[in-house]
């Protein structure tokens, strides 16, 4: 397990400040010497229901980064559930470590025991660095887990539904920007062709878009390029390409002053969480440059809708039909933003916040 530099440790006041400014209810710090587990579970808001959000395993540079990530991600889950009309609150967990080297059955089961101590206030699921198998280990220790394999009665990998939501959100963005939602012949850059990115490339290719793909994993790039006849572009030069749509489907923070300045696209619509490095600053920069930014927590909600279906015994078709509604909500947000001269991110946050606040006083 990675050793974390002392100077970069958070202190309790920073954490409480962060919780206060973002509105968190509770944080659980988990540590187990035997398995090497170091995890943080953040519960942002349970007004609408139990806090549901995936577990991310990542080799954070330091503990501060892990705390910041879990605070931001769990807050995003509250808004994602609210704007998607789900009776769920927002939560998220991070495990500090390298998922390729440090993850073991014992570690995942120990993590499951910690989740269980919260008695259902937090429900976990897969996120980056996790597989349905890991959720099986968690399931051995707690029933408060979703996204378990279909063979165990779960809904399995949520990524295909997430990709569908991103696709319809992208089409709605096209409708708003160009008056027509066809993506035929549009040049779309998909950054990150993992679980979600690959299915998104399929939807786009089926519709006749010209897809450019980018990933750190060259084998994946070559496989996907062969399957869908998409062009590969590697490295940082992707931000300088002549494209219509940029779809960030890797990690967050790729939309920032440097990339916004370089991007020549009309639309940003992708799956990655926290795409804006700094929410208010970067949403404003997109607005000023005339780029339609489809809020990530809205258009990547398909996976959450899918795991919500698992809790309520709905089927995949039900999840897809619910996810299809992202199209109308995306249009509603663009129109609200235009009418009020605010960013699309603020428009989406206002709608989500209103739903939570109304429930609080009801
Ligand atoms: P994944 O791990 O399967 O795929 C991510 C891909 O991005 C990998 O192929 C990886 O090599 C690539 N990548 C990582 N860093 C990169 C970089 N700097 N440049 C280019 N490529 C890079 O993850 P996923 O499940 O496809 O999720 C993708 C994103 O969507 C994540 O941010 C995730 O949090 C978000 N998301 C996923 C879901 C879901 O259902 N899986 C739901 C909501 C949000």
Last-in-domain residue among 156, 188, 214: 156
pLDDT interval class at 5 (50, 70, 90): very low
Q: Residues with Cβ < 8 Å from 13, sequence gap 6 or more?
A: none
Please indicate, yes or no, if residue 66 is contained in any of the structural domains: yes
What is the residue range of 152's domain? 6-74+90-156
**What is the pLDDT, as a whole number, of residue 6?**
46
Whether 86 shows a pLDDT value over 60: the answer reads yes
- For residues 210 and 338, state if they share a domain: yes
311 vs 176, residue with greater confidence: 176
pLDDT interval class at 8 (50, 70, 90): low
Please indicate, yes or no, if residue 189 is contained in any of the structural domains: yes
- For residues 127 and 258, state if they share a domain: no
- For residues 104 and 165, state if they share a domain: no
Residue 177: alpha-carbon gap to chain centroid: 24
Q: Residues with Cβ < 8 Å from 49, sequence gap 6 or more?
A: 81, 86, 87, 88, 89
- For residues 237 and 136, state if they share a domain: no
Last-in-domain residue among 116, 141, 156: 156
Q: How far apart, in whole angstroms, are the C-alpha atoms of residue 239 and residue 183? A: 20
Q: Report percent pLDDT > 70 for the chain.
A: 96
What's the whole-number mean pLDDT along residues 167-179? 98
Whether 7 shows a pLDDT value over 60: the answer reads no
Give nearest CA residue, ligand 1 atom 40.
Answer: 159
Please indicate, yes or no, if residue 37 is contained in any of the structural domains: yes
Q: How far apart, in whole angstroms, are the C-alpha atoms of residue 40 and residue 94? A: 5
Q: How far apart, in whole angstroms, are the C-alpha atoms of residue 362 and residue 360? A: 6
What's the whole-number mean pLDDT along residues 151-156? 79
166 close to 270: Cβ distance less than 8 angstroms:
yes
- For residues 131 and 182, state if they share a domain: no
What's the whole-number mean pLDDT along residues 21-29? 93
To test the pocket of ligand 1, the residue of 128, 132, 302 to mutate (highest count of ligand atoms within 8 Å of its CB) is 128
Please indicate, yes or no, if residue 280 is contained in any of the structural domains: yes
Question: What is the average pLDDT score of the chain?
Answer: 93
Show the tokens assigned to 141.
């220790």
Rounded to two decimals, the pTM is 0.91
Please indicate, yes or no, if residue 45 is contained in any of the structural domains: yes
- Selecting among 38, 80, 92, 186, the annotated active-site residue is 92
Going from the Cα of 193 to the center of ligand 1, the distance in angstroms, rounded, reads 7
Q: Does ligand 1 come within 6 angstroms of the Cβ of 275?
A: no
Over residues 288-302, the pLDDT tens digits come to 999 999 999 999 999
- For residues 191 and 147, state if they share a domain: no
Gyration radius from the chain CA atoms: 20
Q: Residues with Cβ < 8 Å from 301, sequence gap 6 or more?
A: 80, 81, 83, 84, 162, 165, 323, 326
Going from the Cα of 43 to the center of ligand 1, the distance in angstroms, rounded, reads 23
Last-in-domain residue among 156, 175, 190: 156
Show the tokens assigned to 343.
């960013």
Q: How far apart, in whole angstroms, are the C-alpha atoms of residue 51 and residue 31? A: 21
């Amino acid at each position: 397990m990675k050793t974390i530099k002392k100077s970069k440790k958070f202190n309790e006041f920073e954490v409480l400040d962060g919780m206060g400014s973002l509105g968190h209810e509770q944080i659980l710090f988990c540590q187990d010497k035997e398995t090497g587990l170091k995890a943080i579970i953040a519960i942002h808001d349970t007004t609408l229901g139990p806090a549901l959000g995936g577990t991310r395993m990542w080799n954070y540079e330091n503990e501060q980064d892990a705390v910041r990530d879990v605070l931001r991600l769990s807050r995003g889950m509250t808004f994602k559930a609210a704007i998607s009309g789900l009776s769920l609150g927002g939560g998220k967990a991070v495990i500090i470590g390298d998922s390729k080297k440090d993850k073991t059955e014992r570690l995942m089961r120990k993590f499951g025991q910690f989740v269980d101590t919260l008695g259902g206030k937090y429900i976990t699921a897969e996120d980056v660095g996790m597989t349905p198998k890991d959720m099986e280990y968690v399931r051995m220790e707690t029933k408060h887990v979703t996204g378990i394999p279909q063979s165990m009665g779960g809904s399995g990998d949520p990524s295909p539904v997430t990709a569908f939501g991103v696709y319809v959100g992208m089409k709605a963005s096209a409708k708003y920007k160009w008056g027509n939602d066809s993506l035929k012949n549009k040049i779309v850059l998909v950054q990150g062709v993992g679980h979600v990115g690959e299915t998104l490339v399929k939807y786009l290719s089926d519709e006749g878009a010209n897809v450019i793909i980018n990933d750190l994993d060259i084998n994946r790039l070559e496989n996907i390029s062969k399957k869908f006849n998409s062009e590969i572009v590697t490295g940082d030069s992707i931000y300088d390409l002549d494209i219509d749509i940029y779809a960030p489907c890797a990690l967050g923070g790729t939309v920032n002053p440097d990339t916004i300045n370089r991007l020549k696209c009309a639309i940003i619509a992708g799956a990655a969480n926290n795409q804006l490095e700094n929410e208010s600053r970067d949403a404003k920069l997109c607005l000023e440059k005339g780029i339609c930014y489809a809020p990530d927590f809205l258009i990547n909600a398909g996976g959450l809708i899918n795991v919500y279906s698992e809790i309520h015994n709905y089927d995949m078709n039900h999840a897809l039909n619910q996810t299809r509604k992202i199209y109308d909500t995306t249009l509603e947000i663009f129109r609200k933003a235009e009418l009020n001269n605010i960013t699309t991110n603020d428009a989406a946050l206002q709608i989500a916040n209103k739903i939570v606040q109304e429930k609080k006083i009801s």
